[in-house]
Structure 1
Amino acid sequence: MSKLLESKLQQLNITLNDRQSEQFKIFYNLLIEWNKVMNLTGITEYEEVVEKHFVDSLALIKAVDIQKIHNIIDIGTGAGFPGIPLKIAFPQLNVTLLDSLNKRIRFLNTVIENTGLKGIEAIHGRAEDYAKQPDYRENYDLCVSRAVANLATLSEYCIPYIRIGGIFVSYKSEDVEQEVECSKNAISLLGGNIKETVRFQLPGTDIGRSFIIIEKEKMTSEKYPRKAGLPSKEPLI
């Protein structure tokens, strides 16, 4: 089972030890088991999970020097992507997983417990609410999100969490030029600046992906994020 994952990750220059390979196996098995009773993912075949969830999550190293990152928050983590694969592959990271659905948090805590991961927490709530709390606001080196949302909306959720000099990386599909262009003003309002877009293909596939890298240059105004629901209903322009 782990041979496929290992060969794919070699193309990203990531090598797993036996413990890490076992953790990915436990994660996969729990994902499939829990997916029978709740909607975690539409992707369940092992090969597809490896490519579209595990490898896609870890491809972040094409855009970020992980060795310079101390702590990460994953906003709208869902079934734990990209946060859990990043934690397994780079155990030195401190990881916060945030999701608004409590049953997903129960799943994530089961994964954390069964894999024996330390230095990772799963928290239940809305991004707009936790971003107002001093323990979380402007506290992170890196914020990541694979959540499906407009970039201006995602930026309002995510930029408040990163410290000045930190980065927010949005995982997107291949074609992002227009979305990036339309969100520039919103990102600037929030204290960020689009540094670059890194495009790549998932190893061994024709699936194109983009990382939008946003650097935080100044503190986010206290008025952001706006109250729950507004960032998605009325994205900043």
Structure 2
Amino acid sequence: MIEQLPAMLDLWQATLQWQPGDRQLTQFQKLYEAIIIGNRKHNLTRITTPEDFWEKHLWDSLLGVAILNTEDKLAIPDSPRQVIDIGTGAGFPGLPVAIANPDWKLTLVDSTHKKIAFVEKTIAQLGLKNLYALVERAETIGRDPHYRESYDLALIRAVGKPSVCAEYILPLVKVGGLAILYRGHWEEEDTFNLESAVSELGSKIELIHAQKTPITESIRHCIYLRKHSPIAHKYPRAVGVPNQKPL
């Protein structure tokens, strides 16, 4: 028997100024059950207890987008918003973001076939109509005219150095749109190093938002990058190069 996730309605409201409705609570539970079952075959995540899953997958995923509704400087076009999640893994942050924002349209991308197969199965099980999953490398999709500069918002959660993440996702963002880097630890040196990279990528750091997680009280950072001009066609560089030679 798979355990029930805590509803945490007061914590949702106190920390993100948002609460899930009954349908969203049901979908979060189904997502948790899918992860627990899928984990038995594919080792999708080490985060499996109900409280850890709630904080480190659900709350953490929505932290990045919740502030968009309250911070004027992070304004992006009205819904339906076109959103892409690069390196989604088992579907985070993309799946919780899609559940919380059913009028947004999300593309979830990962280079691992088994993970995208799991995501596609989960999308069907949850009855989500606003999601599309794709097996592809970030360097490849960023050069594809069908995807390049097509998104209001791009998400990436701790899959490499900040400058590498920026090179992966900023080519996908429309001019005027935002990219969000989800990070744990962050220092002034990280900001300094990222500033030069995002300048090369036609963007600037709009905001660095730090917040304690509501249960374990660790610090999470979301770095918001605003794209102000088109990016040179040489970016993203060929597969493997951004990681080998970060900007």
Question: Shorter-normalised TM-score: what interval?
Answer: over 0.9
In the alignment, structure 1 residue 6 sits paired with structure 2 residue 47: no
Q: Once the 2 structures are TM-superposed, how far is the Cα of residue 21 of structure 1 from its aligned partner? A: 1.1
In the alignment, structure 1 residue 73 sits paired with structure 2 residue 84: yes
| One of 124, 129, 141 as aligned partner of 2:140 | 129
- CA contact 2:86–2:154 (8 Å) conserved in 1: yes
Counterpart in the other structure of 1:147: 158
The root-mean-square deviation of aligned C-alpha atoms, in Å, is 1.5
Where does 1:47-196 land on structure 2 (aligned, <5 Å)?
47-65=51-69, 68=78, 70-196=81-207
1:9 maps to a residue whose letter is: W
- CA contact 1:136–1:161 (8 Å) conserved in 2: yes
* Stretches (4+) displaced over 6 A: none
Unaligned stretches of 5+ residues in structure 2: 70-75
Between 123-132 and 201-210, the greater mean CA deviation after superposition: 201-210
Counterpart in the other structure of 2:227: 216
CA distance in 1, matches of 2:149, 2:65: 22
Counterpart in the other structure of 1:26: 30
CA distance in 1, matches of 2:53, 2:5: 12
SS of 1:179's partner is helix
Compared with structure 1, are the counterparts of its residues 187 and 235 closer, same or farther at alpha carbon in structure 2 (3 Å cutoff)? same
- CA contact 2:6–2:51 (8 Å) conserved in 1: no
Name the count of aligned residue pairs: 236
Structure 1-normalised TM-score? Answer: 0.95
Counterpart in the other structure of 1:36: 40
Between 176-185 and 81-90, the greater mean CA deviation after superposition: 176-185
CA distance in 1, matches of 2:67, 2:13: 17
| One of 192, 201, 206 as aligned partner of 2:217 | 206
- CA contact 1:63–1:211 (8 Å) conserved in 2: no
- CA contact 2:205–2:223 (8 Å) conserved in 1: yes
Aligned identity (percent) is: 37
Compared with structure 1, are the counterparts of its residues 10 and 3 closer, same or farther at alpha carbon in structure 2 (3 Å cutoff)? farther
CA distance in 2, matches of 1:165, 1:42: 37
Q: Once the 2 structures are TM-superposed, how far is the Cα of residue 3 of structure 1 from its aligned partner? A: 4.1
CA distance in 2, matches of 1:176, 1:78: 26
CA distance in 2, matches of 1:76, 1:162: 15
Compared with structure 1, are the counterparts of its residues 220 and 184 closer, same or farther at alpha carbon in structure 2 (3 Å cutoff)? same
Between 110-119 and 7-16, the greater mean CA deviation after superposition: 7-16
Structure 2-normalised TM-score? Answer: 0.91
CA distance in 1, matches of 2:43, 2:82: 28
CA distance in 2, matches of 1:32, 1:204: 21
